[in-house]
């Protein structure tokens, strides 16, 4: 128990009491002693399974009631009581549940305090107010705990859903890269979250002597972007059959996205048809940057041949390139070049890195760029993706 001089907040607190509740210091000390003994008896008579652990909690509640109870008409004191009671009430609710804690505080403690309510300086109305404060403290403790548990359950459910979404999205990416005569192809996606809005793929159609490859970057990242990634994969992949050109695949894909997706969601995409026998490629660039053709130490930017997908109905152009040995096509997402605005790697640094490794394999070029990006950013700030197509002979 605190010393008697601190029981009801000291002389300054006593000055705020109504005249009827002002007593001599001797009478106040006597009142405190009686009330303290009463509370001690209440605490000692608690019939709880784990009484020893609850004694400090009960004593803390008792001390705050003795200290602040007579000042309840003062709003400041009432607010202080709410604050002071919250922690011990939380412990009582944790151990006894809401109903048990309310019964203990309302039916037991208040019933025993009622006989000395006048000596403590407050009447039946204030006693009812004290009961309300105690009940509110327990209710707030209960609802906070319930909210915390619900939040934890929701977060765990979300974590499981995201884990499943990540596994599904990983299955959308190439498990193996097809072996294409005269060429090496390598790509990678590193999402900034569990799932992301970047995508790459490569598929070989030997009956047509065509290998398709694509790199797509959906605006935003997270679950919404991941859902659109799946749509882009299946829409663009499905339109290959029966299409006369890479541009036609893109136009059909764009038509669906314009009709079925929100206008604020756009997809930049690089899509290519690679012809191994003739060592050539036709490229469609739907608003993506950077997309480079590297030859003999020089880098040529391949400009957009149409706008981002989903923006508007339009036609797409193509760019055809005849490869020579050592040529490569490189494209990456802005999660590598512009992830932090002005404080980013930038296209120039990435271009220099690609040039420095241009005589290496497609896999080595990919890894060099990714390692440099991770060294620069520490971890993906935005989804990172890239694709490298290299002519080896």
CATH classification of the domain holding 379:
3.60.40.10
Could you tell me if 114 and 198 lie in one domain? no
Instruction: Please report where in the chains the tokens 């922690």 appear, as a residue.
Output: 87
Tens of each residue's pLDDT in the chain, 393 residues: 333 333 333 333 333 334 444 444 444 444 444 444 544 555 554 444 444 455 555 555 555 555 545 544 555 655 565 565 666 666 666 666 766 666 666 555 555 555 555 555 555 555 555 555 565 666 666 666 666 666 676 667 666 665 666 665 566 667 789 999 999 999 999 888 766 778 899 999 999 999 999 999 887 655 666 667 777 877 788 888 889 999 999 999 999 888 877 777 788 999 999 999 999 999 999 999 999 999 999 999 999 999 999 889 999 999 999 999 999 999 999 999 998 888 899 999 999 999 999 999 999 999 999 999 999 999 888 889 999 999 999
Angstrom distances, CA of residue 210 to CA of 21, 237, 282, 307, 326: 95, 13, 11, 25, 20
* Domain annotation covers residue 162: no
* Domain annotation covers residue 285: yes
Could you tell me if 315 and 190 lie in one domain? yes
Q: What is the pLDDT of residues 296-311, one digit of tens each?
A: 999 999 999 999 998 8
Against a cut of 0.75, is the pTM above it? no
Calpha distance 321→312 (Å, rounded): 27
Q: What is the pLDDT of residue 234?
A: 74
Mapped onto helix, strand or coil, the DSSP state of residue 326 is coil
Contact 215, 333 (CB under 8 A): yes
Could you tell me if 137 and 212 lie in one domain? no
Could you tell me if 95 and 190 lie in one domain? no
Q: Please enumerate in sequence order all residues whose Cβ is within 8 A of that of 158, keeping only pairs 6 or more positions apart, or say none.
A: none
Calpha distance 250→282 (Å, rounded): 12
What is the DSSP secondary-structure string of 266-295?
-EEEEEEEEETTTTEEEEEEES-S-EEEEE
Could you tell me if 267 and 138 lie in one domain? no
Enclosing domain of residue 354: 173-391
Q: What is the pLDDT of residue 13?
A: 35
Burial category of 11 from C-beta neighbours within 10 Å (exposed 0-12, middle 13-18, buried 19 and up):
exposed
Q: Which of 73, 65, 67 is nearest to 109 (CA)?
A: 65
Question: What total number of domains does the chain contain?
Answer: 2
Q: Single out the residue in 98, 115, 150 at which a domain terminates.
A: 150
């Amino acid at each position: 128990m605190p010393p008697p001089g601190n029981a009801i907040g000291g002389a300054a607190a006593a000055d705020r009491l109504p005249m009827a509740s002002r007593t001599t210091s001797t009478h106040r000390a006597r009142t405190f002693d009686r009330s303290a003994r009463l509370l001690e008896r209440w605490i000692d008579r608690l019939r709880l399974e784990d009484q020893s652990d609850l004694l400090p909690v009960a004593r803390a509640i008792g001390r705050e009631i003795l200290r602040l109870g007579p000042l309840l008409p003062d709003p400041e004191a009432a607010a202080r009581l709410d604050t002071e009671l919250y922690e011990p009430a939380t412990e009582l609710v944790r151990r006894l549940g809401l109903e048990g804690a309310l019964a203990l505080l309302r039916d037991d403690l208040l019933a025993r305090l009622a006989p000395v309510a006048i000596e403590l300086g407050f009447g039946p109305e204030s006693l009812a107010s004290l009961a309300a404060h105690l009940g509110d403290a327990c209710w707030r403790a209960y609802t906070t705990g319930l909210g915390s548990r619900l939040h934890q359950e929701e977060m765990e459910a979300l974590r499981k859903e995201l884990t499943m979404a990540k596994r599904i999205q990983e299955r959308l990416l190439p498990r193996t890269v097809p072996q294409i005569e005269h060429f090496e192809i390598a790509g990678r996606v590193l999402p900034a979250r569990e799932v992301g809005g970047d995508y790459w793929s490569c598929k070989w159609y030997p009956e047509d002597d065509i290998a398709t490859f694509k790199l797509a970057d959906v605006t935003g990242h997270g679950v919404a972007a991941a859902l659109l990634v799946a749509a882009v994969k299946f829409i663009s992949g499905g339109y290959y059959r029966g299409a006369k050109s890479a541009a036609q695949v893109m136009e059909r894909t764009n038509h669906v996205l314009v009709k079925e997706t929100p206008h604020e969601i756009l997809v930049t995409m690089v899509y290519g048809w690679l012809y191994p026998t003739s060592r050539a490629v036709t490229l469609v660039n739907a608003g993506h940057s950077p997309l480079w053709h590297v030859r003999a130490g020089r880098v040529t930017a391949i400009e957009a041949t149409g706008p981002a997908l989903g923006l508007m109905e339009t036609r797409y152009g193509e760019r055809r390139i005849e490869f020579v040995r050592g040529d490569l096509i490189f494209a990456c997402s802005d999660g590598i070049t512009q992830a932090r605005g002005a404080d980013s790697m930038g296209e120039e640094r990435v271009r220099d890195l690609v040039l420095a490794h241009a005589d290496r394999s497609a896999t080595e070029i990919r890894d060099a760029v990714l390692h440099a990006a991770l060294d620069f950013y520490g971890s993906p700030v935005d989804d990172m993706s890239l694709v490298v197509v290299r002519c080896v002979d």
